[in-house]
Amino acid sequence: MSDNVEKYIKRETKESISNKISEKFVDAGLEKIRACINCGTCTGGCPSGRRTAYRTRVAIRKALTGDESVLRDIDIWLCSTCYYCYERCPRNIPVTDMIIKLRNIAVEEGFILDAHFGLADKIFYETGHGVPANGEGNKKWRDLRESYDLPPLPPTVHSYPEAVEECKTLMKEVGFRDLMDNAKELKEERAKEQEKEEEKADE
Ligand code: SF4
Ligand code: SF4
């Protein structure tokens, strides 16, 4: 290559690529990510990207190159799983499934958002519902149900509260409880590390 070309074309060579993401993608049958041509069709049609800084193509690119910063990126939580990108990708890549997988890996690595963690760890685990309709503060949901001639509480653990413990047992059996406990531990470790760094910076 001539010196002139070297002057204008910058090449970035990755010495080592993290295989944490790619291994999990392969395990989940999502190795099709390797067919991505970085065309940006997914970004172009993404309704979430129209209103935020979220760029689907960038998330896919980072996953493909093993850039683990994508797991810390709040952007992957902005996908509304509308499947628009999935339908339009010229390489038939299941883009939405890949974003969901990235979120799963992020949770395993303790990068779950505080709001999601609170909902999963406390509300869902304790009540068996993501959006509970029972309790003092949730009368509006019961009223809404009744306005459609439905019983105020659905035929779930709300109607059979004794089944909440069974739901918790199920959540433990499938590893959900461990996942949340692990995420909590990792989040706390990171918060402590950050605190130490801030203290150092103030010295
Ligand atoms: S549309 Fe498909 S091929 Fe194009 S950048 Fe997105 S994932 Fe890659
Ligand atoms: S599924 Fe997610 S990434 Fe794909 S177009 Fe919809 S919001 Fe965007």
SS (H, E, C) the chain: CCHHHHHHCCCCCCCCCCCHHHHHHHHCCCHHHHHCCCCCHHHHHCHHHHHCCCCHHHHHHHHHCCCCHHHHCHHHHCCCCCCHHHHHCCCCCCHHHHHHHHHHHHHHCCCCCHHHHHHHHHHHHHHCCCCCCCCHHHHHHHHHHHHCCCCCCCCCCCCCHHHHHHHHHHHHHCCHHHHHHHHHHHHHHHHHHHHHHHHHHHC
Contact 40 CB / ligand 1 (< 6 Å): yes
Confidence of residue 9 (pLDDT cuts 50, 70, 90): low
Ligand approaching nearest to the C-alpha of 32: 1
Check if CATH label 1.10.340.30 holds for domain 14-108.
no
- Position 6 scores a pLDDT of 64
Return the residue whose CA atom lies nearest to atom 3 of ligand 1: 36
pLDDT value, residue 3: 60
Top pLDDT among 55 and 14 is at 55
- What are the residue boundaries of the structural domains of the chain, listed by start? 14-108, 114-202
54 Cα to the center of ligand 2, angstroms: 10
Name the band, by pLDDT with cuts 50, 70 and 90, for residue 29. Answer: confident
Measured in Å, residue 77 CA sits from the centre of ligand 1 at 19
Q: Mean of the pLDDT values across residues 80-93?
A: 96
Q: What is the pLDDT of residues 87-135, one digit of tens each?
A: 999 999 999 999 999 999 999 999 999 999 999 998 999 999 998 999 8
Pick the residue whose CA is nearest to atom 4 on ligand 2. Answer: 85
Q: Is the CB of 131 under 6 A from ligand 1?
A: no
To the question of pTM greater than 0.75 for the whole model, the response is yes
Mean pLDDT lowest among 4-8, 19-23, 65-69, 81-85: 4-8
Question: To test ligand 1's pocket by mutation, which of 30, 91, 101 has the most ligand atoms within 8 angstroms of CB?
Answer: 91
Average pLDDT over residues 78-93: 96
Residues in contact with ligand 2 by the CB-under-6-Å rule are: 42, 45-48, 56, 79-85, 95-96, 99
Question: Average of pLDDT values for 6-16?
Answer: 63
The pLDDT score that the predictor gives to residue 21 is 84
Does ligand 1 have an atom closer than 6 angstroms to the CB of 179? no
Confidence of residue 31 (pLDDT cuts 50, 70, 90): confident
